[in-house]
Amino acid sequence: DDLVGVLPEGRKRVVVLGTGWGAMPVLRGIDSFKYEVVCVSPRNYFLMTPLLPSVAVGTVETRTVCESLRSMLVGKKIKFYEAECQEIDPKRKVIVCGENHKVHGDLGTMRESDKDVSKVVAKSSSRAIADSTRTRPSFELEYDYLIVAVGAENQTFNTPGVKEHAHFLKELPDARRIRAAISDAFESAAMPGVSADERQRLLHFVVVGGGPTGVEFAAELNDLVNEDLNLVHKKLIDDVKITLVEALPGVLTMYDKSIAEYTMKHFSREHIDVMANTFVKGVTAQSVKIQKKGEDISEIPCALVVWATGIKPRPLVDDLRKAIGEAVQSNRRALVTNQYLEVKGADGIMALGDCATIDFPKMVESVKILFEEADTVKDDRLSLAEFQALVKQKAHAYPQLEFFTDAVERHFKEADLNADGYLSMEEFHALLDKIDKKIKILPATAQVANQQGMYLAAYLNSIDPNAEDPHQFFSPFQYKHMGSLAYIGSDEAIIDLTGTKLFNLALGGRNAFYLWRSFYFTEMFTMRTKMLLFSDWMRAKLYGRDISRV
């Protein structure tokens, strides 16, 4: 079982870092008889992250959103080490792994604000984790292929007080802590002798960031207050306030404009206060410091701050970028890969999900070369069919072009001003230029990571790793956007299908909510978690959420 240096039967070793949305489809899809597969991750379970806001308020229970990695991989020959990869040496093709105290420390230790909030929960979980990992040795692991799917960290923009006093909503212990903190705030507010000001502070909940995480959490919290806490804390309910602070002019700005407007109106009806054009400048144990555009800094007293302002790279990824060289890896936000998800400047390393970004080649340039070589374009005019035929012929030499053909097809009709089915070369280049500008960085979503993971598994399964050009018979990765969904509270959701091939549709409301639920129900990986999720939803509807601090 000693993995270091020994490669049975000459199989290549694939080391997968991570057990999240990018890593799981690789592990599930890869041929573990063709390769020797080893997974290293500090988390020995897959986490259904889209349901974390529901876990934070008790609509869904903790174990419902976890799936043990080992049970998911039964029947596959995959080794798993619960450890943290601390260093990648791209020259020696070796990784160094160690005790996962850093990550688990992050998950398990108490933060300042927990000290008076969830003593029992945080203390007991951190002790259990520390005990079980303390004696694990560090080790080195050689790889032929390294798949980096380690995700990203919470972005704080170095805002003072965030790490000490605010709650993130990224990992399961975050959700557990928030649930305890909400219960604590209500129990503290119900104590005798609490002044009116202090009661209002204790019942003021502030969410920072109007992206999908912040919006979904504010929505779930509002449901908890209106559906459950109002029954047991009748006297307190008038003092409850939920504020969402967003630096931009509105929430959900990454979605279609109509959705952002719908959500703003819905929140206003639900009395969730959205403070737009406002930056959070600092967090203290009892307040947040905010600054509205053009105004002075002010302070709002509150008890709970949930921080959801996006993501930044993990130190491991930063170190790898530097080890490869910043001349090649010049993007400070992620590892730059080609369209086969291979990290530029590092032999055998692939990266996907939130820690990676694809460097799309400019289409205009490729097409110009293609036409020069083909010399089939007559009269300086081009029809869509001619373009498609050329791409088909030359797809082998210019695989990246296939990636753009859908976009060209969609835009061709629009650009065909004479409606004769032909564009002049000048018009055609302008159209390619326009599409080039539209092809932007893929969003940091589960959907992208999942598709990339499936692609990498299929890619590794199909190639001959000893061939000179393993790409030869494989197309580059192509992202198919299937739309976005987010819960906005009171059994309403939003769905944005613009930019997909399905419908050009963006809507909000009850129907979107049913779609949201059906989608996540089908997305649950196993029957066990499907059953748990269904029973959680039924329980919450029929008997309410458990609001005790356990």
Question: Which ranges in 283-362 belong to alpha helices (H)?
Answer: 315-324
d(CA 99, CA 340): 32
Q: Which stretch binds ligand NAD (CB under 6 A): 10-18, 302-310, 336-344, 388-396?
A: 302-310
Interface stretch with ligand NAD, choices 4-12, 332-340, 409-417, 479-487 (CB under 6 A): 479-487
Whose Cβ is closer to ligand NAD: residue 53's or residue 108's?
A: 53
Q: Is residue 54 near ligand NAD by the rule CB under 6 A?
A: no
- The size of the interface with ligand NAD (CB under 6 A), counted in residues, is 28
Q: Does 287 bind ligand NAD (CB under 6 A)?
A: no
3-state secondary structure 32-90: CCCCEEEEEECCCEEECHHHHHHHHHCCCCHHHHEEEHHHHCCCCCEEEEECEEEEEEC
Query: Considering beta carbons, is residue 226 or 253 the nearer one to ligand NAD?
Result: 253
Asked if residue 512 binds ligand NAD (CB under 6 A), the reply is no
Pick the closer one to ligand NAD by CB: 281 or 434.
281
Rg of the chain (C-alpha set): 26
Kindly state whether residue 212 participates in binding ligand NAD, applying the rule CB under 6 A: yes
Q: Which is nearer to ligand NAD, 160 or 443 (CB)?
A: 443
Cβ-contact 337, 344 below 8 angstroms:
yes
Footprint of ligand NAD on residues 159-178 (CB under 6 A)?
Answer: 159
Q: Does 250 bind ligand NAD (CB under 6 A)?
A: no
Smallest separation, CB 274 to ligand NAD (Å): 11
Check residue 248 for interaction with ligand NAD (CB under 6 A). Answer: yes
For ligand NAD, the closer CB: 57 or 349: 57
444: contact with ligand NAD by CB under 6 A: yes
By C-beta, is 206 or 540 nearer to ligand NAD?
206
Q: Which is nearer to ligand NAD, 473 or 525 (CB)?
A: 525
Is residue 304 exposed (0-12), middle (13-18) or buried (19+ Cβ within 10 Å)? buried
- The strand pairing partners of 307, in sequence order, are 208
Instruction: Write a three-state SS string for 390-403.
Output: HHHHHCCCCHHHHH
Closer residue to ligand NAD (CB): 325 or 443: 443
Alpha helices in 274-383 (DSSP H): 315-324, 363-374
Among 219, 245, 288, 488, binds ligand NAD (CB under 6 A): 245
**For residue 35, which phi and psi values (nearest 5 degrees)?**
-115, 160
Q: Minimum distance between the CB of residue 157 and ligand NAD, rounded to whole angstroms?
A: 6
CA distances from 91 to 171, 323, 424, 479 (A): 33, 9, 49, 31
**What are the beta bridge partners of residue 87?**
96
CA distance 354 to 445: 7
Question: Nearest residue to ligand NAD, using CB?
Answer: 211
Near ligand NAD in 88-127, by CB under 6 A: none
Strand intervals (E) in 171-319: 204-208, 241-245, 272-275, 278-283, 287-292, 297-301, 304-307, 311-312
Does residue 157 come out as left (phi exceeding 0), alpha (psi in the -120 to 50 range) or beta? left
Query: Strand, helix or coil at 466?
Result: coil
Distance CA 303, CA 291 (A): 19
- Which residues, listed in sequence order, are joined to residue 89 by a DSSP beta bridge? 94
Contact criterion met (CB below 8 Å) for 246 and 276: yes
Which of 29, 42, 50, 399 is close enough to bind ligand NAD by CB under 6 A? 50
Which of 60, 242, 486, 493 contacts ligand NAD by CB under 6 A? 486
Min CB(146)–ligand NAD separation in Å: 25
When asked if residue 308 is in the footprint of ligand NAD (CB under 6 A), the reply is yes
Q: Does 246 bind ligand NAD (CB under 6 A)?
A: yes
**Is 374 within 8 Å of 393 (Cβ atoms)?**
yes
Q: Which tokens go with 550? A: 């356990």
Helices (H), 78-211: 101-108, 119-133, 162-165, 172-189, 196-202
Token code pair at residue 386: 């001619």
Question: Min. distance of Cβ 417 from ligand NAD in angstroms?
Answer: 36
> Which of the 8 DSSP states describes residue 228?
I
Minimum separation from the CB atom of position 239 to ligand NAD (A): 24
CB of 169 to ligand NAD, least distance (A): 8
Query: Quick one: which of 59, 126, 183, 213 contacts ligand NAD (CB under 6 A)?
Result: 213
Residue list 357-416, contact with ligand NAD (CB under 6 A)? none
Among 173, 209, 361, 489, binds ligand NAD (CB under 6 A): 209
One of 445, 475, 498, 500 touching ligand NAD (CB under 6 A): 445
| 170: three-class secondary structure by DSSP | coil
Q: Nearest 5 degrees, angle CA 336-CA 338-CA 343?
A: 50
At closest approach, how far in Å is the CB of 224 from ligand NAD?
18
Question: In angstroms, what is the minimal distance from the CB of 524 to ligand NAD?
Answer: 15
Q: Does 310 bind ligand NAD (CB under 6 A)?
A: yes
348 binds ligand NAD (CB under 6 A): no
Residue 162 C-beta: closest distance to ligand NAD, Å:
9
Query: Which of 173, 211, 313, 483 is in the footprint of ligand NAD by CB under 6 A?
Result: 211
Q: How far is 271 from 242, CA to CA, in rounded Å? A: 8
Chain residues binding ligand NAD by CB under 6 A are: 50, 157, 159, 208-214, 245-248, 253-254, 279-280, 308-311, 443-445, 484-486
